[in-house]
């Protein structure tokens, strides 16, 4: 898995603080920005978090490049509807170098791993054979329509992988660019850094937190699973390790400071 913060709102603390101050000021946002240093902005953002005034936090955006994650993860993360996603298409990008994600539990058992790898190979073989069969059929059809050989070949390949992709597994690797505002990110971390989250999206969430925390310690001071900012909300489903989790994220942030 590769995760990198590739863009973010410049001076996010000052932008958020100015947006919040604007609600109660006769002064414009530009003047508020000019009159505020980083320390004042950080203190104001921390105050916003304490009183629960979160709408101004939406003005700070963060964009990530993500690689080496599964289509299974994609199905989970796109449930965060306030985020924006651009995802590598299996419809337009022909599979040439098949990369797949292996769950750690499967990898830890030789017998399970052997079966898993065999299944993955069967999937990619079927994909390649289906793509070849379909491409021949579409190529002939396009030639009959009077399309040039070069154009017929290009269109046939695209049309073939459109249907061949149906045999590809959830384990297939994908790449994406994803943008979230700071408020949605904090919500995302609460849910997906939790020990009860699925292992892959938990790993992604933690990697994203490592990227954004150095940019704004004020915005993400309490970021992490919900128990980092209070009691565990999982009730009977709690992992039972809240103290250890809080310690883990406190140490992580200390290393990033």
Active site residue ranges: 192
How is residue 200 written in tokens?
């892959």
C-alpha span between 54 and 202 (Å, rounded) = 24
Neighbouring residues of 144: CB distance < 8 A, sequence distance ≥ 6: none
CA neighbours closer than 13 Å in the CB half-sphere of residue 212: 34
Q: Which secondary-structure segment (H or E) carries 147?
A: none
C-alpha span between 122 and 118 (Å, rounded) = 6
Neighbouring residues of 137: CB distance < 8 A, sequence distance ≥ 6: none
Longest dimension (CA), the chain: 71
Number of H helices, E strands in the chain: 10, 4
How is residue 60 written in tokens?
């700070």
């Amino acid at each position: 898995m590769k995760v990198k913060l590739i863009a973010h709102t410049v001076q996010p603390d000052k932008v958020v603080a100015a947006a919040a101050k604007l609600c109660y000021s006769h002064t414009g946002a530009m003047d508020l920005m000019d009159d505020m240093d980083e320390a004042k902005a950080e203190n104001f953002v921390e105050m916003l978090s304490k009183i629960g005034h979160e709408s101004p936090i939406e003005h700070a955006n963060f964009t990530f490049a993500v690689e080496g994650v599964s289509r299974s993860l994609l199905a989970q993360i796109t449930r965060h509807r306030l985020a924006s996603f651009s995802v590598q298409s299996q419809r337009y990008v022909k599979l040439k170098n098949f990369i797949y994600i292996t769950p750690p539990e499967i990898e830890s058992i030789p017998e399970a791993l052997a079966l898993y790898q065999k299944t993955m190979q069967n999937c990619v073989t079927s994909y390649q054979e289906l793509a070849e069969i379909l491409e021949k059929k579409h190529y002939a059809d396009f030639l009959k329509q009077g399309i040039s050989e070069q154009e017929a070949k290009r269109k046939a390949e695209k049309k073939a992988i459109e249907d061949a992709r149906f045999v590809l597994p959830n384990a297939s690797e994908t790449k994406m660019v994803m943008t979230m505002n700071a408020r949605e990110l904090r919500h995302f971390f609460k849910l997906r850094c939790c020990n009860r989250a699925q292992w892959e999206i938990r790993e992604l969430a933690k990697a994203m937190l490592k990227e954004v925390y150095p940019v704004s310690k004020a915005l993400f001071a309490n970021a992490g699973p919900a128990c980092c900012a209070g009691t565990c909300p999982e009730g009977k489903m709690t992992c039972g390790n809240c103290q250890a989790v809080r310690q883990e994220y406190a140490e992580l942030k200390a290393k990033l400071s």
